Amino acid sequence: MSLLVTASTAAIGSYTILSAFYKSAQMIYAIKSRASSPPLTDVDHETMPSVDVIVPCYNETPDTLSACLGSIAAQDFTGRLRVYVVDDGSQNLAAVKAVHDAYAQDTRFRFIILRKNVGKRKAQICAIRQSSGDLVLNVDSDTTLAVDVVTKLAASMHEPEVGAAMGHLVATNRDRTWLTRLIDMEYWLACNEERAAQASFGAVMCCCGPCAMYRRSALTSLLDKYETQYFRGKPSDFGEDRHLTILMLQAGFRTEYVPDAIAATVVPDRLGPYLRQQLRWARSTFRDTLLALRLLPHLNGYLTLDVIGQNLGPLLLALSIMTGLAQLATTHTIPWLTIVAISSLTLMRCTTAAIRAREVRFLGFALHTPINLFLVLPLKAYALCTLDNSNWLSRTTPPASLCGAPETIHERDACHHDAARRQPAALAVTGEGTTR
């Protein structure tokens, strides 16, 4: 029994040391990154590059899509702006037709209708290959942008070595449930701690899908690799934002985080959808961490610590919980060291976030700890054991003919040609072409 107690002590001790060191370094670099962010007053509005906004949609509700497109139309941006809305084989086209019609007369907007659901990644690529702007902004259809997002992201990419940049994410529906409040705080921590610290070294590891901008010259050179990602011989379609970011870093480009570019996105308001999302993200993270390992020798040492902290940390924490529970079950003694260590680390993190954000609500993020310990951690273990599963879990699986069969090449090649030639193969609208 003493061996079990020793193992429990070693596990929680190792986790505490790693977590304290990693989080301290993360906070220092995050604060440093924030202090060095250029103010909007430094932006030269007369030399803004052209920007193409790509909005893939799949069964989006009319109100949500309307809010998204309205926020893009309202952008205070002096450069040329074009918007490509790609309907990815939705079954509610009749319901969103009024939204499409509302922007049909706006010359900045183009609507592409895919006959079949090909997945978010291929829908993005189809629009990217039709567009021509200097920069490409990917926006999820359930995301709304602050009026200056395009300007701030474009300004952050004025140096040619910057290949991608992301904005700060908040939850549109933050006040809906207790879970959405926790997720909103989780997003703040992910952006203002993790991404901000990584940005100190120009190596944000995941420019998040709801709002991420890319340099076209870099993006087009990576499109084939981006489109044909495989894992263990199977197509890998989710985690497109993380994979594309890793490809950018592999190509030698910097990736940045812009804290003042605010994008609000709809988050799960129930535990089931939230856990399915976490499972999908965990699989994506594990897959692309293997690619990221090759980058580490060429990046700052902190980023090695970051990868260790994000991957070894949860493993040590899970081991601490398992040995603690085993100690309780076999010796009937409470693993106080494990309880005190986790509680102390949680309290320190929440207090620090409350001080930095100047919002008392972050003390309530402590409620996320039991969710993480007893739901998310086991989910990550399951994700690690099922890495070759590419089911989105939250959307209808694309038809087999569009997920690796010979028709896939036909669909992809269709997006290389002009709209009139492409229509019979993959795209269709109201009989007037592929855009309107």
Global confidence as pTM: 0.86
Domains belonging to the chain, first-starting first, are 1-436 (3.90.550.10)
What angle separates helix 240-250 from helix 271-292, to the nearest 10 degrees?
Answer: 20
Percent of the chain with pLDDT over 70: 84
Segment of 7-11, 265-269, 333-337 carrying the highest mean pLDDT: 265-269
Helix (H) or strand (E) holding 125: helix 120-128
Mean pLDDT, the chain, whole residue set: 86
Q: What is the pLDDT of residue 255?
A: 97
Exposed, middle or buried by CB within 10 Å (0-12, 13-18, 19+), for 95?
A: middle
Any long-range contacts for 401-407 (C-beta under 8 Å, 24+ apart)? Answer: 401/116, 402/116, 402/117, 402/118, 402/119, 402/122, 403/119, 403/235, 403/237, 404/234, 404/235
CA distance 123 to 145: 21
pLDDT above 70: residue 426: no
Residue entry with tokens 């969710």 = 371
Least confident of 75-84, 235-244, 255-264: 235-244
Least confident of 167-181, 224-238, 327-341, 388-402: 388-402
- State mean pLDDT over 26-35: 89
**Encoded tokens for 28:** 């220092």
pLDDT above 70: residue 233: no
Q: What is the pLDDT of residue 38?
A: 57
pLDDT tens figures, 354-366: 999 999 999 999 9
Strand, helix or coil for residue 105 = coil
Q: What is the pLDDT of residue 389?
A: 76
Least confident of 143-152, 325-334, 416-425: 416-425
**Encoded tokens for 384:** 């690690």
- State mean pLDDT over 106-117: 95
Residue among 211, 228, 51, 205 nearest 125 (CA):
228
Cβ contacts of 430 within 8 Å, gap of 6 or more: 436
pLDDT tens figures, 124-177: 999 999 999 999 999 999 999 999 999 999 999 999 999 999 999 999 999 999
pLDDT above 80: residue 326: yes
Q: What is the pLDDT of residue 40?
A: 53
pLDDT tens figures, 394-415: 554 443 333 333 233 233 334 4
Q: 16 and 345 in contact (C-beta within 8 Å)?
A: yes
Q: 213 and 227 in contact (C-beta within 8 Å)?
A: no
